[in-house]
Structure 1
């Protein structure tokens, strides 16, 4: 049961809204499966097994391939101007990797596996040739690029507009919903990132991330299932959604 203070600050979603969101996830899952089937049939990509910590490509490496993640999780890491590593993106099943290398002819970041998975490898020139002959494949490529732009925008908006607790809640919401779209359970997720990496990704310190997670747990929006505190139980993802929405809602007008 949610803390009453949370329930007042974030109005629960209606049954209709929950049903619509569930249908949206189911449709997204079907679309991901269809896209993977199309890529497999039309491009016949090379399959590559990756393990946690393995680097798929590195910043500065000559660009030549695009990649599609068939299973597993990836993080994209960039170097800041002072030499620190910055996590700039997370990739789930069905996501493309390597778009950052097209413009300059070299990859702009490191792509690092967070767990064991399978990546499909495709020569960029082969992708272009196939797209010229198959409009459906070209549409898939353009949609993937558009989604990446949208994610970058949403990530920037989160960093710029949300307070710390809502930023962490939105991160957990994004992770859980990304799993939901791929037909995976969302009530318990294993964070394949350290607190420091989460803070790095969200523009926060490790200590702030830890405090925010503890506050979310006290408000019963999440709980930790093991001593290591990497397995997070989410009783209700929609409660996280409402919590984040309440953080960006305009304050009620007051009479002067």
Structure 2
């Protein structure tokens, strides 16, 4: 059971199972299967729901907090952030979304969206009426399974993100953030050896509960340790020679210090 008084123990429990990098062939095969599954799912949604397709560009708002709920949005391409507004007016990045993810689940319970969904680059969203989805699912049970899978994946990722922020030291948080980004790309059939971060250092810090300076220091340490490389100084293009090295770096950060001899 998670004990908040021992954050490193909790972090080791959460990350221990994925700290050791998988064999390259096995990892590639798993990512290929995930990519194929995503392609099949997207085809099913497109064929059965006939969604409205909407092209968005960096900064475009898909929906805003307080807006009446009516649609769900399936991401066909691009990267998106979910932003919440705190009581004192500060913006807080609370989620990142990739191809195959869904937007708008937060609006189902209360009838209004509780966050803003904002595009971070050029992409395409599929707009699906919630009522149409429920009606289509009656005739095609596979749609209901896809819907539930998407919700379950979001719940699981939100849990992992919370554990990362609450239990990992700063450097490990940034490493795990990069690992998640690269792994998400791999599962979608995209390259992971070089990724373009669609967020500024300040936005990454906002998402991870860190200052801009702490994010910069963590990235510099990862570069010094040869876990990542920058294509150009100060740019967002990051080379990741081995994604498994990021998991190993996280594990080293949370490993208990060796006991001192009395």
Query: Is TM (by shorter chain) over 0.5?
Result: yes
**Would you say how many aligned residue pairs link Structure 1 and Structure 2?**
245
What is the root-mean-square deviation of aligned Cα atoms in Å? 1.7
Which of 128, 131, 156 is 2:137 aligned to? 131
CA distance in 2, matches of 1:250, 1:63: 47
1:96 to 83, 98, 102: 102
Contact 1:86 1:201 in 2 (8 A): yes
Q: Which deviates more, 218-227 or 242-251?
A: 242-251
List runs of 5+ in structure 2 lacking aligned partners.
1-15
Q: Distance in 1 between matches of 2:23 and 2:218?
A: 27
Partner of 1:7: none
User: Once the two structures are superposed, what CA deviation does each residue of 1:34-89 show, in whole Å capped at 9, x if it has no partner?
Assistant: 11011001101010000011000000000000010000000000012221000011
Query: 1:59 corresponds to which residue?
Result: 65
Work out which of the residue numbers 147, 154, 162 in structure 1 matches 2:160: 154
Q: Secondary structure at the match of 1:120?
A: strand
Distance apart, 1:94 and its partner CA: 0.5
**What is the rounded CA distance, in whole Å, between the counterparts of 1:245 and 1:133 in structure 2?**
47
**Which residue is 2:123 aligned to?**
117
Counterparts of 1:189 and 1:197, CA distance in 2: 17
Give the distance between the partners of 1:255 and 1:136, measured in 2 at CA: 60
SS of the equivalent of 2:118 reads: strand
The equivalences for 1:153-192 within 5 A come to 153-192=159-198
Q: How many Å apart are 1:255 and its aligned residue?
A: 6.1
The CA deviation at 1:24 is 1.8
Match of 2:221 in 1: 215
| Corresponding position of 1:4 | none
SS in 1 for 2:72: strand
Give the 4+ runs in structure 1 shifted more than 4 A: 250-256
Per-residue deviation at 1:250? 4.3
Where does structure 1 lack aligned partners over 5 or more consecutive residues? 1-9
Q: Is the 8 A contact 1:18 1:238 kept in 2?
A: no
Say which of 21, 24, 33 aligns to 1:27.
33
For residues 128 and 34 of structure 2, the distance between their equivalents in structure 1, rounded to whole angstroms, comes to: 23
